[in-house]
Amino acid sequence: MAKSAGSPDSRFRGQIEAALADGATLDAMVLRLTLRDANLMARDPVTPVADISYAGGEMRFLGVRVEKGGVDVSRLDLGEG
Burial of 1 (0-12, 13-18, 19+ CB in 10 A): exposed
Q: Residue 55's pLDDT is what?
A: 86
Write the pLDDT tens digit of every residue in 7-46. Answer: 899 899 999 999 999 999 999 999 999 999 999 998 989 8
Q: Residue 2's pLDDT is what?
A: 41
Write the pLDDT tens digit of every residue in 59-71. Answer: 999 999 999 999 9
In 15-72 the beta strands, taken as DSSP E runs, fall at: 30-33, 52-55, 58-61, 64-68
User: Are 24 and 79 within 8 A, CB to CB?
Assistant: yes
Alpha carbon distance 9, 61 (integer Å):
9
Q: Residue 79's pLDDT is what?
A: 84
User: Are 31 and 66 within 8 A, CB to CB?
Assistant: yes
